[in-house]
Copies of this chain bind each other. A is one copy, B any other.
Amino acid sequence: MSYYITAVGLGAAFCTTISFLPQAVKTIQTKDTSGISLLMYSFFTFGTLLWLVYGIMSRDVPVATANAITLVFACIILVYKIRYK
């Protein structure tokens, strides 16, 4: 049972982390940020930074790693949203 729970957790972390890659690529290529919420990416980027700090403080390597990657994508999207709104 514990093996399946870990597998589901890893699948979840993979999907939610990698999901921001196609959004970052699309935003860089099209610079179309009109439908993207500035408030969302402000909260989300700050929240991801907190998750990274939480992962480091609690020595949780998967949480820290996944959020370090997501933070890069979120920052790119946030910067494009501010620059091309």
Q: Interface residues, chain A, CB within 8 Å of chain B?
A: 1, 4-5, 8-9, 11-23, 25-27, 30, 32-37, 39-44, 46-48, 50-51, 53-54, 57-58
Report which of B15, B44, B46 forms a contact with A50, defined as CB distance below 8 A: B15
Partner among B11, B27, B50 whose Cβ is within 8 Å of the Cβ of A12: B50
The secondary-structure label for the interface of chain A is helix
CB-CB under 8 A from A14, the residues of chain B are: 47
Q: Are A40 and B22 in contact (CB under 8 A)?
A: yes
Q: Are B40 and A20 in contact (CB under 8 A)?
A: yes
The 16 sampled A-B contact pairs (Cβ below 8 Å) are A8-B57, A9-B51, A9-B54, A12-B47, A12-B51, A13-B47, A14-B47, A15-B44, A15-B50, A16-B43, A16-B44, A16-B51, A19-B39, A22-B39, A26-B37, A26-B40
